[in-house]
Amino acid sequence: MSKPDISRAKSAGLYEKAKTYFPGGVNSPVRAFKSVYGTPLFIEKGDGSHIWDADGNEFIDFCCSWGPLILGHNNTAVRDKVIEVMQKGMSFGAPTALENELAELIISNNKYIEKIRFVSSGTEAVMSAIRLARGYTKRDKVLKFEGCYHGHSDSLLVKAGSGLVTFGETSSAGVPKAFADETIVVSLDDKKALQEAFEEFKGQIAAVIIEPVPANNGLLLQTQDYLNYLRQICTDNGTMLIFDEVISGFRVGFEGAAAYYNIQPDIITYGKIIGGGLPVGAYGASAEVMDQISPVGSVYQAGTLSGNPVAMAAGIAQLTQLLKPGFYDELHAKTAGFVNDIQAFVDNRGYAVKIFTIGSIFWFAFTTQESISTAEEIDPASMVKFKEMHRELINRGIYLGPSGYEVGFISAAHTTADLETTKIAIFDSLDIVFEKN
């Protein structure tokens, strides 16, 4: 039975006010709740696995600030380290020992990179990695995949055209066609398309960029064989392979998807998980490649807030905890148990639902397919069911990202009780969804 809608009076009032200040009332589009019911929830606080909105509603949170809060909200060690460092100042635009400490923590525990450059966001990390690849190879074209998102920089904010191998078409106003013409877009999990692209643009492709765990448009898990093929074709053509690990990095393991699949990319990008959820990103590679960057090399990239002490402090506190023995084993086992119980329920009911998962990431797909590896395989009509499920879950105190294309995350802060409560809420919500549809 459906539950009454929660009160959103204060959030609704804040949203109306916000619309007078911000385009669409938000500072990032998905927050506008356009794909689900109701107005956006304005969050006031978070602690552990729970968040509270302006109306006092409490939720078990599976968004986790879109992934980086792997320890949950307001982690004590992270908070205390940030407060300690903030008391000495928050930004200097100059080097600090904290940058060295976080870099050593990452590099000494990640065999896939030798040097790193801190920036202020995942978008900035990817943008810089693309420039580095172009500078290193002395080529201009970049190949990306339909269904992978790499931030909002111009050359990557493109979608596939109508052919098997096409130049990208701009997916946003304000992106010049000339920029999109340097980007080739192909489908995921398609060796033939890759081969044709490299034949058609022989000697022109500077980099291939992929989310090795595509998690921005559903969870489009790729096979080991396909990723191995991708690595080989890049090597054979002198093209740099960039792993965008803004989501998968430090999520599927400390060394991310590179270690999960045992593939050495040429450049790897990371997001705000390395800063405890604060605004930070990074890109890393071999010492030879990274030394192409200014001030020692000719590829220019800079940032006043790069390596700022507050984000570095949070990152040190967070990543230190991720290195504790058994951390990932426990988190992944917790996620697998959660997903398996839900899958068993829907299979028993005969519902067309498949929960895809890797590490501590999961995604609900309203489908009977055993695998979904490309964006084209997602049925847009299935989002109606997610919209209904999201509403029922919100009314039961469970918070998922407000789009059926977004994945969910489990953190170390999620307790057995949290997950049991959530499973019951999901069972009840799915029963209602499939009664209506």
In tens digits, what is the pLDDT along the chain, a chain of 437 residues? 889 999 999 999 999 999 999 999 999 988 999 999 999 999 999 999 999 999 999 999 999 999 999 999 999 999 999 999 999 999 999 999 999 999 999 999 999 999 999 999 999 999 999 999 999 999 999 999 998 988 877 777 776 543 444 445 666 777 777 877 899 999 999 999 999 999 999 999 999 999 999 999 999 999 999 999 999 999 999 999 999 999 999 999 999 999 999 999 999 999 999 999 999 999 999 999 999 999 999 999 999 999 999 999 999 999 999 999 999 999 999 999 999 999 999 999 999 999 999 999 999 999 999 999 999 999 999 999 999 999 999 999 999 999 999 999 999 999 999 999 999 999 999 999 999 77
Helix (H) or strand (E) holding 102: helix 97-107
> Running DSSP on this structure, what letter comes out for residue 73?
B
The residues carrying an active-site annotation are: 149, 244, 272
Supply the pLDDT for residue 181: 82
8 A C-beta contact, residue 384 and residue 377: no
pLDDT of the residue at 169: 62
Task: Give CA separation, 4 vs 77, 125, 128, 393, 418, in Å.
Answer: 38, 43, 48, 11, 22
Is the sign of the CA dihedral 26, 315, 242, 116 positive or negative? positive
| Contact present, 12 and 364 (Cβ < 8 Å) | no
Rounded CA-CA distance 226/247 in Å is: 20
Cα–Cα distance for residue pair 374/360, rounded to 1 Å? 21
Q: Do residues 171 and 203 lie in contact, with contact meaning Cβ atoms separated by under 8 Å?
A: no
CB 405 within 8 A of CB 390: no
Rounded to a whole number, what is the largest CA-CA distance in the chain? 64
Q: What is the DSSP string of 386-401?
A: HHHHHHHHHTTTEE--
pLDDT of residue 178: 80
Handedness of CA 422, 425, 430, 436 (dihedral sign): negative
Work out whether strand 267-270 and strand 240-244 pair parallel, antiparallel, or are unpaired: parallel
How far CA 191 is from CA of 188, 230, 382, in Å, comes to: 8, 8, 28
- 0.85 exceeded by pTM: yes
CA distance 49 to 74: 9
Kindly give, in sequence order, each residue whose CB lies less than 8 Å from that of residue 34, ignoring residues fewer than 6 positions away: none
